[in-house]
């Protein structure tokens, strides 16, 4: 199965994009709602969580892993790839490649959580491929809570998006990467505030494209992926609000299954 994890429910934008591109493929999803959000937490803590989430998905039968979380992809990719002997996908590289392919002026903006932006990962990856590119980034820590609350069209959300986007607009970027799997839900507002000439790259969609391309090129992997129409969605905590948010993001009602955790502080 295709195993997908996120800090919470934002990763369901990646699930949706994969379901559109690979209909019938079984997905096993894990959303770490008991510890969400990751974007304000340290690289060490997020890496530990990413490893636990990967272990969980492997135990449930995942054959490939998609880290559907920009924060985890930013800080934990190397550790996860080095620790497991199966295909691991992250959401950063596909967005980076598309931005460099489509940007004319090579003035590229990135928005993401504080952890993603602080990691500098997008800038490093872009400059490694094309050192002439100019990269401008902005941490937008309040956008995840606004999306989780379902405040997708409220005036307060518009004001906050405008405030975050302003420094990028001033730099006259021609391309903006949505470096957080929650942000596609605010795409319309972001497009309005950054201007309609700016090309927005949705890292959830580019990640889904990269999984599709990989499967097309690797029939041996494709063969072992289940296609029984039996996707499952696990979460580490469950509330009515989480169920509501999941429905909004995935645009369909799904059954969230609760997984318990055992923890001790040392």
Active centre residues (catalytic): 69, 180
> Which of positions 151-170 make contact with a copy of itself (CB under 8 A)?
151, 155-156, 159-160, 163
Q: Give the C-alpha distances (Å, rounded to integers) separating 76 from 28, 42, 54, 198.
A: 20, 11, 11, 30
Instruction: Answer for the pair 115, 39: CB distance below 8 angstroms, yes or no.
Output: yes
- State which of residues 102, 130, 192, 239 lies at the interface with a copy of itself (CB under 8 A): 239
Which range touches a copy of itself (CB under 8 A), out of 69-77, 178-186, 214-222, 253-261?
Answer: 253-261
- State which of residues 58, 81, 106, 142 lies at the interface with a copy of itself (CB under 8 A): 142
Min separation Cβ 118 and a copy of itself, Å: 8
Min separation Cβ 254 and a copy of itself, Å: 18
Which residues share a beta bridge with 258? 235
Q: Does 255 bind a copy of itself (CB under 8 A)?
A: no
Q: Report the distance separating Cα 84 and Cα 235, nearest Å.
A: 22
H or E element, residue 231: none
Residue recorded with tokens 């940007």: 103
Residue ranges of the alpha helices (H) in 60-202?
Answer: 70-83, 92-102, 114-119, 121-129, 143-148, 155-170, 187-194
Q: Which residues bind a copy of itself (CB under 8 A)?
A: 30, 33-36, 40-42, 45, 48, 52-53, 55-56, 114-115, 141-142, 145-146, 148-149, 151, 155-156, 159-160, 163, 236-239, 241-242, 259-266
């Amino acid at each position: 199965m295709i195993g997908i994890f996120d800090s919470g429910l934002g990763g369901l934008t990646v699930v949706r994009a994969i379901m559109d591109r690979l209909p019938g493929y079984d997905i096993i999803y894990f959303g770490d709602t008991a510890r969400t959000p990751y974007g304000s937490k340290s690289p060490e803590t997020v890496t530990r969580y990413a490893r636990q989430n990967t272990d969980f998905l492997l135990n449930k039968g995942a054959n490939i892993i998609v880290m559907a979380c920009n924060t985890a992809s930013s800080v934990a990719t190397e550790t996860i790839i080095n620790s497991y002997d199966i295909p691991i996908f992250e959401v950063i590289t596909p967005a980076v490649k598309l931005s460099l392919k489509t940007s004319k002026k090579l003035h590229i903006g990135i928005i993401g959580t504080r952890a993603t932006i602080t990691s500098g990962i997008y800038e490093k990856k872009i400059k490694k491929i094309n050192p002439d590119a100019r990269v401008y980034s902005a941490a937008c820590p309040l956008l995840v809570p606004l999306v989780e609350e379902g405040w997708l069209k409220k005036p307060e959300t518009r004001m906050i998006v405008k405030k975050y986007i302003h420094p990028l607009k001033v730099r006259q970027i021609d391309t903006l990467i949505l470096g957080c799997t929650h942000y596609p839900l605010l795409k319309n507002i972001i497009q309005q505030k950054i201007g309609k000439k700016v090309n927005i790259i949705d890292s959830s969609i580019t990640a889904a494209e990269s999984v599709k391309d990989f499967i097309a090129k690797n029939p041996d992997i494709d063969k072992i992926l289940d296609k029984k129409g039996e996707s499952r969605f696990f979460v580490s905590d469950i509330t009515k609000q989480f169920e509501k948010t999941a429905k909004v993001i995935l645009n369909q009602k799904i059954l969230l299954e609760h997984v318990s955790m055992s923890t001790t502080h040392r």
